[in-house]
Chain A
Amino acid sequence: MNQILDKIFAHATKFIALSVLLIVAWIFTTLFEQSLFSLQASGFDFITETLWAPNLEKFGALPAIYGSVVSTFLAMVLAVPIAIGVAIFLSELAPAKLKSPVGVSIELLAAIPSVIYGMWGLFYFVPIVRDIFGGVGISMLSAGIVLSIMILPFMAAVTRDAMNTTPDILKESAYALGGTKWDVIKDVIIPYAKAGIIGSFILALGRAIGETMAVTFVMGNVHKISTDLTQPATSIPVALANEFTEADTQIYYSSLFELSLLLLVISFTIISIAKFYFLRRKRVGA
């Protein structure tokens, strides 16, 4: 009797686990099916053309790809050094009294829904960017900065956790050779936690590149490639969020699906790389 129950249980959990895979496969095939029309119509031009003019039935996704890449890059450039600084402070330098309140509030920040970053960005942050850097404020730069603020808490918290896994005895060995705090941080803690730190960066990158609400408010959805960061721009998720309601032709609708397929592939790739790093770290630990 018990053996039968065990079997039923095993099969039930197997079914649930497989259903997750099924859903992922389902999403993939749906996106692919829906993009088929656009894939056939635009072909490779879809990712090389810069003109996105639905009224002319021209769909070049390059400005959206460019916007996704540049805003994410900006966000990473701004957030990485600050996240490392915060993590070093929290794991090694902060007095015990500060460690836990600051740590907890950073974890809380990581839980703020992205739409709130978007609203706050639009009403309070965009004017500041406009006053300092010129332009209209709604821009690639605003998007990059708001994104960086959004991913910062997550990166700082995970980086801190990775640094905290450094065994005390390893740190003590470096101090015991006459190392200063800085020596120990740079030569022992960061190299030891490297895989975890890079993993957290890549996860944050994945989150930034797919982020929709926070950037939709402050980016402007203008399909134009401009090297001037104070100009409005767009990204793949921003275009998707703005344009589905307007997609009145089959090719427009299908092109948006192709955009989302593109985003999915990019995100998948990034998460796979992150996984690779995390797995490697586990092997080293074992």
Chain B
Amino acid sequence: MATIVDIQQEKALEVKNFEFTYAGADLPSIKKLNMPIAKNAITALIGPSGCGKTTLLRSFNRIHDLYPGNKYEGEILFNDKNILSSKEDLINLRIKIGMIFQKPTAFPMSIYDNVAYGMRLQGIKNKTELSNRVEKALQDAAIWKEVKDRLKHDANGLSGGQQQRLCIARAIAVEPEVLLFDEPTSALDPISTAGIEELVVELKERVSIIIVTHNMQQAARVSDYTGFMYLGELIELGRTEEMFVSPREKLTEEYITGKFG
């Protein structure tokens, strides 16, 4: 059984007896996992490659559904509803639970259109509303100053770090409740990484954040809670400041002290 710290505050998500099996696989990649995710906090998921942390993250917005044959079991509760239900409106779900990927994924269009894209998908056509919200999102993503004079330029002309902040602006423009970060800085240099980390911390006032990272220092720097996963199971979920100092599970200790990984 996993050691799970008691989360006092409200919960954004609640994972219950969750199992995930990839198409064609005999065994589940995630086994009977239970995990609360605190609201307006940052939860980091750490663990060695193949432990299932990215698989778990990609279940929260059901992006796995793009590929046929993947199977979910158990429940993930979001606003008291099981998002794994076959009746779940995936488009609505993905508006409320946004995602940032390992590499910047600017669309082949202008900077402005990139940020406006999610809003336009929702049918927002009003030009003033769009441009106000685009500006706000770019400001919140701390990139407005750099791009305000070239909003009509191709987004692919930006640097990697700028593109990643653009992607964050694009994600927060639709005002999600939860943001999923899948190793958001793995393709970035240290300075851009620091910028993104700072931004992630600022964002938690408005959204609940789950971040998958390979980098334990990053988890220690940004997160409030840390979940350590191993072989498809959650071994320990604790307050970050406690877990990195005095982990309760032996496996966690071995991992964070670098004995394996």
Residues of A at the B interface (CB closer than 8 Å) are 95-96, 167, 169-180, 183, 187-188, 191-192, 194, 284
Please name the 4 residue pairs, one residue from A and one from B, whose CB atoms are nearest each other, closest first: A177-B118, A173-B105, A176-B99, A178-B95
B29 interface contact, C-beta 8 A: no
- Closest residue to A166 on the B side, CB-wise? B108
When the two chains form their complex, are residues A169 and B103 in contact, meaning their CB atoms are under 8 A apart?
yes
- Closest residue to A189 on the B side, CB-wise? B108
- Closest residue to A170 on the B side, CB-wise? B105
When the two chains form their complex, are residues B121 and A177 in contact, meaning their CB atoms are under 8 A apart?
yes
1/0 contact trace for B44-79 toward A, CB 8 Å? Answer: 000000000000000001010010100000000000
- With a cutoff of 8 Å between Cβ atoms, the chain A residues found around residue B101 in the complex are 169, 172-173
- Closest residue to A180 on the B side, CB-wise? B91
- With a cutoff of 8 Å between Cβ atoms, the chain B residues found around residue A175 in the complex are 63, 66, 94
When the two chains form their complex, are residues B108 and A192 in contact, meaning their CB atoms are under 8 A apart?
yes
- With a cutoff of 8 Å between Cβ atoms, the chain B residues found around residue A180 in the complex are 91
When the two chains form their complex, are residues B61 and A176 in contact, meaning their CB atoms are under 8 A apart?
yes
When the two chains form their complex, are residues B105 and A191 in contact, meaning their CB atoms are under 8 A apart?
no
When the two chains form their complex, are residues A187 and B91 in contact, meaning their CB atoms are under 8 A apart?
no
* A177-B94, A177-B170 given; A172·B66 CB < 8 A: yes
- With a cutoff of 8 Å between Cβ atoms, the chain B residues found around residue A170 in the complex are 105, 107
B92 interface contact, C-beta 8 A: yes
- With a cutoff of 8 Å between Cβ atoms, the chain B residues found around residue A172 in the complex are 63, 66, 99, 101, 105
Identify 9 residue pairs between A and B in the complex whose beta-carbon atoms are under 8 Å apart, listed by A's number: A172-B101, A173-B101, A173-B107, A177-B171, A178-B94, A178-B121, A178-B122, A188-B108, A284-B156
When the two chains form their complex, are residues A191 and B167 in contact, meaning their CB atoms are under 8 A apart?
no
Residues of B at the A interface (CB closer than 8 Å) are 61, 63, 66, 68, 91-92, 94-95, 98-99, 101-103, 105, 107-109, 117-118, 121-122, 156, 167, 170-171, 174
* A180-B91, A187-B117 given; A174·B107 CB < 8 A: yes
B164 to nearest A CB, angstroms? 11
Cα separation A180 to B92 with both chains bound (whole Å): 11
When the two chains form their complex, are residues A177 and B63 in contact, meaning their CB atoms are under 8 A apart?
no
Q: A178-B174, A183-B121, A191-B108 are in contact. List 14 more A-B contacts (CB 8 A).
A: A169-B105, A170-B105, A173-B99, A175-B66, A176-B63, A177-B121, A177-B170, A177-B174, A178-B92, A178-B94, A178-B121, A178-B122, A179-B91, A180-B91
- Closest residue to B103 on the A side, CB-wise? A169
A100 to nearest B CB, angstroms? 15
B247 to nearest A CB, angstroms? 32
Identify A178's interface contact among B68, B109, B118, CB under 8 A: B118
- Closest residue to A171 on the B side, CB-wise? B66
- Closest residue to B96 on the A side, CB-wise? A178
Identify B107's interface contact among A95, A96, A188, A284, CB under 8 A: A188
- Closest residue to B91 on the A side, CB-wise? A178
- With a cutoff of 8 Å between Cβ atoms, the chain A residues found around residue B95 in the complex are 177-178
When the two chains form their complex, are residues A177 and B98 in contact, meaning their CB atoms are under 8 A apart?
yes
Cα separation A161 to B170 with both chains bound (whole Å): 29
A190 to nearest B CB, angstroms? 9
A248 to nearest B CB, angstroms? 58
A284 to nearest B CB, angstroms? 7
Cα separation A37 to B105 with both chains bound (whole Å): 60
When the two chains form their complex, are residues A179 and B121 in contact, meaning their CB atoms are under 8 A apart?
yes
Cα separation A145 to B95 with both chains bound (whole Å): 46
- With a cutoff of 8 Å between Cβ atoms, the chain A residues found around residue B118 in the complex are 177-178
- With a cutoff of 8 Å between Cβ atoms, the chain A residues found around residue B167 in the complex are 173
- With a cutoff of 8 Å between Cβ atoms, the chain B residues found around residue A188 in the complex are 107-108
Cα separation A188 to B174 with both chains bound (whole Å): 18
Cα separation A194 to B105 with both chains bound (whole Å): 17
A282 to nearest B CB, angstroms? 14
- With a cutoff of 8 Å between Cβ atoms, the chain B residues found around residue A176 in the complex are 61, 63, 94, 98-99, 171
A161 to nearest B CB, angstroms? 17
A199 to nearest B CB, angstroms? 16
